[in-house]
Amino acid sequence: MLKTVICDLLGITYPIIQGGMAWVATGELAAAVSAAGGLGIIGAGNAPPEVVRREIAKVRERTDRPFGVNIYYMSPYVEELIDLVCAEKVPVVTTGAGNPGKHLPKLKEAGVKVIPVVASVALAKRLERLGVDALVAEGMECGGHIGEIATMPLVPQIVDAVHIPVIAAGGIADGRGLAAALALGAAGVQMGTRFICAEECTVHPNYKNAVLKAGDRDAVVTGMPGHYVRVLKNKLTRQFEELAARGASWEEMDRLGAGKLRAAVEGDAEYGSLMAGQSAALVREIKPAAAIIEEVVAEAEEIISRLSKLVR
């Protein structure tokens, strides 16, 4: 069986973490991933604590396996969410769009394992010094908010720079990606886009169908430097292109994007923000989360076995 240090750290069977996608990563999806041996993550996004509490309850109604909550540090509810995950004794917290350093003592005291998502070596080293348990090194191929470095060069640089486990993310949707990540020194992978097309993902079928139809050039970047977001092409992305062409301000961009992810989740495939990574072109069918995980692991194991035979 394919097992790494991240499995032991998190108490999971397979080194696969589901991305904490806001409005997409609900309790239903997180529970299905965790029950299948991965680590399911609830995406808190900008949701208030009472909403996140209900998603936590959904997971616990469905499985007793470890799971996590992703806390988005641009949310207005960060302090309340930290209190919530500690009170609920959530096993794992992943973080994005900020530095969780000031909350680490409280999270650690509550027994929560903290795994920030990072897009640079400098931030990875700083967070290791602060005492986080592991890191997700996320390349710019990912969906949603992106950094500036691609997965292939980013992951080994972070692996070389820190002494804690590193999880690779960005552009990974199958066993080939998992095997490649392990070859780069990662201890596992985080997949987001692939799980949009899990049966248990509650987004509207229009969103899933947009992922299934995506080609290699359909996951495009919108927004402005420092605030880039990767989404699938539609009428909304053309509106962003028009704003950028006339030198629109960040405020105008922000107004255009407000509420559009929620709209996509509810079925607006034309003017909704269909956040998805470049790996969308690798997603070809909707299936249960357990089947996705089994397929990814089996393919990775076969590849690793085949590659080992190349050495004479």
pLDDT computed for residue 251 by the predictor: 84
pLDDT computed for residue 250 by the predictor: 82
Task: Measure the CA–CA gap between 71 and 74, rounded to whole angstroms.
Answer: 9
pLDDT computed for residue 29 by the predictor: 98
* Pairs from 156-164 (Cβ < 8 Å, separation ≥ 24): 156/184, 156/185, 157/121, 158/118, 158/121, 158/124, 159/184, 159/185, 159/186, 160/185, 161/121, 161/124, 161/125, 162/124, 162/125, 162/128, 162/135, 163/128, 164/128, 164/132, 164/133, 164/134, 164/135
Q: Domains along the chain?
A: 5-203+283-308 (3.20.20.70), 205-278 (no CATH)
Q: State pTM to two decimals.
A: 0.94
Query: Is the separation of the CB atoms in 149 and 189 below 8 Å?
Result: no
For 310, residues 6+ apart whose C-beta sits below 8 A from its C-beta are none
pLDDT tens digits along 241-278: 999 888 888 888 888 988 999 999 999 999 999 999 99
Positions in the chain whose pLDDT score sits under 70: none
